[in-house]
Amino acid sequence: MTDLSRRKLITTGLAATAGVAGLGVAARLAQKYGLIPPDHGGIYGLGETLTYASQRLLTRRSLAREFPRSQISKPPFANEIEPLTDEFKRLQAGGFAGWRLSVNGMVVRPASLSIDQLKSYPSHTQITMLQCEEGWSYVAEWIGVPLSHVLDVVGVLPQARYVVYFSIEPDTWESIDMADALHPQTLLTYGMNGGELPVGHGGPLRLRLPRQVGYKNVKFITHLTVTDSLKGFGKGLGSAAPEGGYAWYAGI
Amino acid sequence: MRLLEPHDVNCTSVAQGKTGICVRVTGINAFDAGVTQNPPLTDEVDFIDSSRGFRFNKLRGCNVTRRIRLTVRLPQSSFSSTHSQADYCISDVRATWYHSRVGDSTCIPSAASAVPIATVPSRHSALVRVTHWITTLCFLALLLSGAEIVISHPRFYWGETGNDLTPTLFKLHIPASRNLVPTGYGYVLPDQNGWSRSLHFQAAWVVILTGLLYAIFGLLTGHFRKNLLPGGADLSRRAFSRSIAGHLRFERPSEAEAWSYNVLQRLSYLFVIFILFPFVIWTGLAMSPAFVSAFPATVNLLGGQQSARTLHFFVSLALVLFLLVHVGMVWFAGFWNRMRAMITGHVATPRAATYMERT
């Protein structure tokens, strides 16, 4: 019995040491390859990290499903929006001619772009599903300029790791990693189902990210910042969602 | 491993030749079945196999304290054919018998010092016990968080899409945690989706990794084959209908079932492990927009993202039904004994002893 215990003890000790060392190496590698989400702390950090790391590895280049025109939901369901601010109403009264998307941070040429300027860039149309974390969903045609094109226009510095995007609504901001920011289906959307993007769906400008659920698809975008660290934004958890108890990464 | 109580190992002495001791170990049925032994201290004893016990002959130096240790290996092939193999999966019994004073011609174990100790193997291996309870905790977490997520939109659809503007397949008549959902209730529950989603996915990760460990272990050790796959005789129509009839009459489980699963139990566990668990994981992943971007077939095969959500809900209901029946049956079979078996691995001896005497 003592022999067995000793053997067991040694084996367990070795296994535990190997396990801890392995975890250390895995954590170092995950950090290096950008597989740790900014909200990795806290009691759900394990799950958030495993989800983000595995989905980032599996889906770096995969495309969200696109649908035939016949599957477009009629009418598209518009989720509730916060009461519009006075500033928004003023811009709305002017036909959004005064709406500006400012882009700064780790870029060569910071810019302030009007909706018309965005429309002058090559547009991309996709028929994709928007699904809410609550469980409902709809399919719509989204028209916009790929975020990657706007990032090309301003010239992103090589050390950039995240794009932070802000809404005109107070305290509404999110961020994505460069894999999502440069993804061909990530659009700055200004049109929907052949027309203008309705205000109820985030018009005049909404960030469309079909591989993540609804709340990452922020409405009324006014500002983008390119950064290599999310520590300086809000509480440093990556976006407003984790501050409200939701995950930063929402690919599931 | 459990220490046998003194009365489990029934020591009697016999005069056989010059000196001899017969140690009879009761409480373990398979002793009838012809056993081999492997005493590590064999220079002190000779072993003669008898149908009802073990006899030590030519015990030298009987007047000094001796420790006799015998190891019994019960070959599975020798088990009674009326029960499937795994009914007696005792593979290794160690009995240590301390014997202090022995006479010249007969060896009489003194009651005070005859402290026979034997260990019997666990009812459930440590890995099965640990993975069982991790799975239990994760399932409860998934159930609670899943219910919370459903409350934010208690409507179900079939196909790719569904929302408040489209017809439902069915809806739950409960209040919702979002005010746009037409529930008919005049109030809205607080939003709990943030932590519910995080808990749901974290528990899913833990239970999937645990399940993988369990599946690898089960395949490598033959756990599925030995403990879960019904034996050939069990699957005969007669045995099968007898088991169903027994369940329908709410017959108490036989003592043998303290050490083994009956055929319906085996089939239920196999169904849960190899059908329901994989399907609930599949339907869950099929709701993930990022996952299905890499593996679109996982959602297309199910008929769409809303179909996946509805199926996920139904598989969860099936798992809840299993949980209720499972706990009910454990209660019925003797809650604390079954719980002890799944926590410590021990099975109460008197039951085993009773069984031995009855057969």
**Hey, is A136 helix, strand or coil?**
coil
Q: Which has the closest alpha carbon to A230: A177, A168, A182? A: A177
Alpha carbons A2 and B344: distance in angstroms, whole number: 21
Q: Across the interface, do A136 and B164 touch by the CB < 8 Å criterion?
A: yes
Q: Across the interface, do A252 and B288 touch by the CB < 8 Å criterion?
A: yes
Q: Check if the beta carbon of residue B353 is closer than 8 Å to that of residue B8.
A: yes
Closest residue on chain A to B209 (Cα) = A50
Alpha carbons B131 and A235: distance in angstroms, whole number: 37
Alpha carbons A132 and B284: distance in angstroms, whole number: 15
Model confidence pLDDT, tens digit, residues B7-33: 333 333 322 222 233 333 333 333 322
pLDDT band at B209 (very low <50, low <70, confident <90, very high): very high
CA A161 to chain centre: 12
Alpha carbons B282 and B279: distance in angstroms, whole number: 5
Radius of gyration of chain A (CA): 21
Beta bridge partners of B10: B24
Q: Check if the beta carbon of residue A118 is closer than 8 Å to that of residue A99.
A: no
Its ipTM equals 0.91
Closest residue on chain B to A252 (Cα) = B288
Model confidence pLDDT, tens digit, residues A180-225: 999 999 999 999 999 999 999 998 999 999 999 999 999 999 999 9
pLDDT band at A76 (very low <50, low <70, confident <90, very high): confident
In CATH terms, the fold of domain B126-358 is: Fumarate Reductase Cytochrome B subunit (1.20.950)
A129 sits in the region (left: phi over 0; alpha: psi -120 to 50; else beta) called beta
**Hey, is B184 helix, strand or coil?**
coil
Name which of B152, B155, B163 to mutate to probe chain A: the one with the most chain A Cβ atoms within 10 A of its Cβ. B163
B164 contact residues in A (CB cutoff 8 A) = 77, 136
Using CB atoms, pick whichever of A64, A71, A134 lies closest to residue B152: A134
Alpha carbons B230 and B70: distance in angstroms, whole number: 33
Name which of A136, A186, A243 to mutate to probe chain B: the one with the most chain B Cβ atoms within 10 A of its Cβ. A136
Task: Give me the residue spans of the domains in chain B.
Answer: 2-120, 126-358
Q: Which amino acid is at B328?
A: G
Q: Across the interface, do A47 and B203 touch by the CB < 8 Å criterion?
A: yes
Q: Which amino acid is at B116?
A: P
Structure tokens at B159: 């196909």
Alpha carbons B30 and B4: distance in angstroms, whole number: 16
Residues of A with CB under 8 A from a CB of B: 44, 46-48, 50-51, 55, 58-59, 62-65, 67, 71, 73, 75, 77, 79-80, 129, 131-139, 210-213, 241, 244-247, 251-252
Which helix or strand (DSSP H or E) is residue A54 part of? helix A45-58
Model confidence pLDDT, tens digit, residues B149-161: 999 999 999 999 9
Q: What is the DSSP string of B13-51?
A: E---SSSEEEEEE-S-GGGGG--EE--TTTTT-EEEEET
Residues 215-274 of B with CB under 8 A from A: none
pLDDT value, residue B120: 53
pLDDT band at B50 (very low <50, low <70, confident <90, very high): very low
Beta bridge partners of A111: A103
Smallest CA–CA separation between A202 and chain B, in Å? 17
Mean pLDDT is lowest, of A32-36, A43-47, B57-61, for B57-61
Domains and CATH numbers, chain A: 67-243 (3.90.420.10)
Beta bridge partners of B170: B156
**Hey, is B64 helix, strand or coil?**
coil
Q: How many residues does chain B have?
A: 359
pLDDT band at B48 (very low <50, low <70, confident <90, very high): very low
Q: Check if the beta carbon of residue A135 is closer than 8 Å to that of residue A219.
A: no
Residues contacting B29, CB < 8 A, separation 6+: B80, B88, B352, B355, B356, B359
Q: Locate the DSSP E strands across chain A.
A: 100-105, 111-114, 124-131, 137-146, 162-167, 173-177, 187-192, 195-196, 206-208, 221-227
For range A131-136, the mean pLDDT: 95
Size of interface A-B (CB pairs under 8 A): 127
Query: How many angstroms separate the Cα of A195 from the Cα of each of A96, B220, B231, B298?
Result: 15, 60, 66, 33
* Opening angle at CA B193, ends B188 and B198, nearest 5: 165
Q: Which has the closest alpha carbon to A227: A148, A135, A165, A139? A: A165
User: Percent of chain B beyond pLDDT 70?
Assistant: 62
Cis bond upstream, residue B175 (ω within 30): no
Closest residue on chain B to A50 (Cα) = B205
Q: Across the interface, do A244 and B194 touch by the CB < 8 Å criterion?
A: yes
pLDDT band at A36 (very low <50, low <70, confident <90, very high): very high
